[in-house]
Structure 1
């Protein structure tokens, strides 16, 4: 039996609206992203991080999983900024085959990444790919974002620069 994890698990309104958006894969010319209607439960998140790392001492308290790609890779808020709300936590991607990356420095910037045509996997693993901006997601971002619009590559590079040891720190937890 897993321990119940406490903490803020209220789904932000911006993610609730993202969950209603269309993310067509278009044979690789679109998004490989399936947003959820709510965060995975604390217990599901704990089970996942333990399976992903092989470390059964961990709990899932540091993550709020809110979507996946077609291979089972997960998009999550990484609760690394103590005392700040979920919307101010970075967005990360953890692939099903061990790929990882920081996507955006906060939820607002993530919305702009989506608007520019990147899903979490694409942003984390292939930011130089050709993308098609998504006007409907730009409108969604404009309704919810608290940060000014910036090009997705600037958002991604800024987040990676702010959290340069994310990958190493995560792999250090693996057994």
Structure 2
């Protein structure tokens, strides 16, 4: 995971194939079982980190804004979805497994944002419809 600025730069350059980028618009905070990354996308000037959208950057070029902010992301996780499931087409046999422990965390952090994973994904897609194009334009 890209913890330091130099690591973030190395990671983002490798992911995009573009050595001119520094990855400064992203703060990676997680990696899933597919080796994809969850990151905050720093697109909202002067807003705190928790108010920035959460994106997924997958190992095979998958991208997507999976939540409008940390509160929505916590509700996404509580409903049994990870970043990959939110950013990609669902596997036909895949079933979400809501997690009561994560729901308790989401309730404590963002009680006013309680919504289903489907609603979280839809709201993120509506607010940031061009994310995939933005990222693909950075790739070489």
What's the TM-score, normalizing by structure 2? 0.92
Q: How many residues align?
A: 138
Give 1:130 shift.
2.2
Is 1:69 the counterpart of 2:32 in the alignment?
A: yes
Q: Hey, what's the Cα distance between the residues in 2 that align with 1:156 and 1:127? A: 12
Is 1:156 the counterpart of 2:121 in the alignment?
A: yes
* 1:75-97 deviation per Cα after TM superposition (whole angstroms, max 9, x unaligned): 00110111100000000000011
Q: In angstroms, what is the RMSD of aligned CA positions? A: 1.6
Q: Which runs of 5+ in 1 are unaligned?
A: 1-35
What's the TM-score, normalizing by structure 1? 0.74
2:23 aligned to which of 28, 47, 60:
60
Q: Hey, what's the Cα distance between the residues in 2 that align with 1:152 and 1:87? A: 18
* Aligned residues of 1:109 and 1:147 also touching (Cα < 8 A): no
Aligned to 1:30: none
In the TM superposition, structure 1's runs of 4+ consecutive aligned residues that sit over 4 Å from their partners are: none
Q: Hey, what's the Cα distance between the residues in 2 that align with 1:147 and 1:102? A: 21
Q: Which runs of 5+ in 2 are unaligned?
A: none
Is 1:144 the counterpart of 2:89 in the alignment?
A: no
Is 1:170 the counterpart of 2:122 in the alignment?
A: no
Is 1:112 the counterpart of 2:75 in the alignment?
A: yes
